[in-house]
Chains A and B, each alone.
Chain A
């Protein structure tokens, strides 16, 4: 049975390291739903989060193959324990009252706000779980001019951490 996994990887912050990871996924025909990467507090390390889908056996292989890459220092599968997942999206729509009302009407703990407003356009910033973003975006009536999503990032809750 295929399931989605979020894998977090600490990677040497070296040129070419990212292409080793993406090359692995294409060479071995693994799925990759999203991938996001940025340097960590320790500038010699990047943290990469990828979302992939596969059977338990495939996910096991993906983790082993990732670990085998020399530039991979450490990884955890966030889906193995309770974890927090977030994604950020920015979307641009034509000015419209309905949208302004929709955002204003959201519960206060929902992370959505109008970040930029010009005469004709709005840019809305959303953050939350991927599924919430998916729902929000599909609930929008009228034309969305542009959307950009960061891909999922996450942290495991409690004591379990991905650190050196």
Chain B
């Protein structure tokens, strides 16, 4: 078969089984767009901004496990895509991003819409290519998909000069069955000896914690994590990226850990004698102050990326490889011990955890007449039976969603954890809907974030991807305002947004359904009404309490046992919690409570 470069690009996507390409045309990709026009298998989604394309492809990838594909033009097309590429990179999401480039002859001459795409994206991709010959396109595409999806996944950029996609230059096409790269051999199975060592630690543990992260979701190892956790009866905490791998409603789950994690999760980490870290990377939002992280614990760390091991925290038993086979190995070894690992075995630990739990650290004031953001999420959970795909933007609303919507399945919770990209939620929700057309998809957002990629409402109408937008409108860049309240004595420097649009009318102008909810009693009925409109995108503008904060909170650079507690929790200000391992709680000037060991 003889094909032009433009046709090869599209034929390669077909041969990869790609369903959707999220893209935006321009001069340097016109030949490729012409090839798209002449076939039906690969469907193109015309976004409204290239950032939207990358986030949509990302949402598609996160919710389906398949790589997301993006096609943008050179210059501004490529630079607009960079935020989304970096977002995917930080969360290890497989994307293949095809960027047009100016013709080879003018590369380096500051040609119209020329930018050094390979240079700009180098620090935020797993790898990138500048293809220099039409005969290399197919193999490069194969490599791109292989790299994006294997080992520790990530985005790969393929930069293609316009002249090698010329419809008049045809070359023989054969899509490689496989690629073999001498410089890239990701580790699959872990070292058995290391696993044996880990099991020896597990046997002795008195105060163990399983700390599981996004790698378990990406590595499709939820089932194995569940089996391991249930075999051992150890408490499980998950990172923001890992939520859903272990069921959020399970009594063994002690909540998310880290900056806005639960008291019980953070205290358990701090008091632990054995941490089993699985597909997690000891991010600073998780560890808090490094020097005081888990002071008495031995650490087992399973990760596919050797560079994640002992990067910030030195571990005792590193196991490099794919999470799934390693957990299976570990399970087999544990089973062959013939010991029972019931809760009784570590009963003192569990009763300590139960005491921490009883403090109800995420409690919020349920008596107010204003709409509390937490309440909206609880109702969302109820109305969707806890089974929706939930994307979020970045801010307080993101944390409330993570805290108050317990996910029982992996790939249901979709957020930008690593880069923290406002604007991610809406296009990501659209991508999720493409991958899961029959599922309920909700986008939890804030009035700040939603305005960063709002234009995709138009795409969502064109392609009929009904999503429910839950706008927790507190009138503030809430997370910024909270930090200013805590650390800048309430000097709210530019965290208030005046002149917000009428979101209801805005949604209507885009052809969707708009709702504004101002009363607490309307929250649940409005949600029911919205989710009953299966085939409509509904923008729900909830006017929420403008000064609500996310609790608990470990302030940046503080240790796990140093948390600011919710005013409504059971912590008594200024009193020692005698039974609770001498945790003491301090009142902050503005009424927060602070717990410290």
Contact = CB atoms under 8 A, between A and B. Distances in A.
Contacts of A115: none
Contact of B183 (A23, A27, A70): A70
Interface stretch (A60-68, A99-107, A118-126): A60-68
Interface stretch (A12-20, A33-41, A153-161): A12-20
B122 A61 contact: no
Contacts, number: 38
Given A16-B118, A68-B305, A61 B183 contact: no
A23 B123 contact: yes
Interface residues of B, number: 19
A120 B72 CA distance: 61
Contact of A19 (B122, B181, B183, B310): B122
B96 to A, nearest CB: 14
B181 A23 contact: no
Contacts of B126: 70
Counting chain B CB atoms within 10 Å of each CB, the highest count among A27, A60, A74, A164 belongs to: A60
Contacts of A61: 307, 310-311
B182 A68 contact: no
Contacts of B307: 61, 64-65, 67-68
B314 A27 contact: no
Contact of B182 (A15, A20, A57, A73): A73
A27 B181 CA distance: 25
Contacts of A73: 182-183
B147 interface: yes
Contact of A72 (B119, B122, B183): B183
Interface in B98-136: 118-119, 122-123, 126-127, 130
B101 to A, nearest CB: 13
B118 A12 contact: no
Contacts of B305: 68
Contacts of A64: 306-307, 309
A134 to B, nearest CB: 33
Dominant SS among interface residues on chain A = helix
A108 B520 CA distance: 92
Nearest to A62: B307
Interface in A25-68: 27, 57, 60-61, 64-65, 67-68
Contacts of B311: 61
A8 B141 CA distance: 30
Contact of B306 (A57, A67, A70, A164): A67
Contacts of A19: 119, 122
A62 to B, nearest CB: 10
Counting chain A CB atoms within 10 Å of each CB, the highest count among B127, B305, B307 belongs to: B307
A100 to B, nearest CB: 47
Nearest to B123: A27
B183 A57 contact: no
Contacts of A129: none
Contact of A70 (B123, B130, B147, B310): B147
Contacts of A87: none
Contacts of A72: 183
Nearest to B122: A23
A71 interface: yes
Interface of B: 118-119, 122-123, 126-127, 130, 147, 181-184, 305-307, 309-311, 314
CB-CB nearest 4 A-B residue pairs: A64-B307, A73-B183, A70-B127, A27-B123
17 contacts: A12-B183, A15-B130, A16-B130, A19-B119, A23-B123, A60-B310, A61-B307, A64-B306, A64-B309, A67-B306, A67-B307, A68-B305, A68-B307, A70-B127, A70-B183, A70-B184, A74-B183
Given A19-B122, A23-B122, A164-B182, 5 more contacts: A16-B122, A20-B122, A23-B123, A64-B306, A73-B183
